[in-house]
Amino acid sequence: MSWQLRRATPADLDAIMAIESSEFANDAWSSDMMSAELGNRHGYYVVANPVGEPTRVTAYAGLRATAGSTQADIQTIAVEPNARRHGVGRALMNALMVEARTRGAGELFLEVRADNPAAQRLYDSLGFESIAVRPNYYQPDGVDAVVMRLTIPEPKLSPAVGA
């Protein structure tokens, strides 16, 4: 299956919240919190939909990156179970990494549940490194957060083939 990525809009709130509440049952953001994030000028949220189904959101991710700051934060990422293991999470993360770099960030941070090895493997494969643990960060479950950091690589330019 192929996906299209696009910037999230307030019209995507219900679809995002359906995924949010199903994937993060005990620590899901409220609709008001997510709505505020979608409208925040320092935020950048992206949704994924299957090609040809522009209103069917199957994944989303969000970034907080103040223009001109050298650091940015991944706020959230979620992929519906039926869309996992097809590269959509990696595509969302790459889109956020590009946006963070565009806004001037050289470092990107995130927190991931210590009991989510699949997400940790994805972040490791993208070059993130574990730098700290925040005990009991995720409530009410009392699960630790692993803090990860990525030094965002500079874009590499190369000549076009055949030039």
**Looking at the annotation, which residues are catalytic?**
111, 123
DSSP string, the chain: --EEEEE--GGGHHHHHHHHHHHSTTTPPPHHHHHHHHH-TTEEEEEEEETT-TT---EEEEEE--TT-SEEEEEEEEE-GGGTTSSHHHHHHHHHHHHHHHTT-SEEEEEEETT-HHHHHHHHHTT-EEEEEEEEEETTTTEEEEEEEEEPPPP---PPTT-
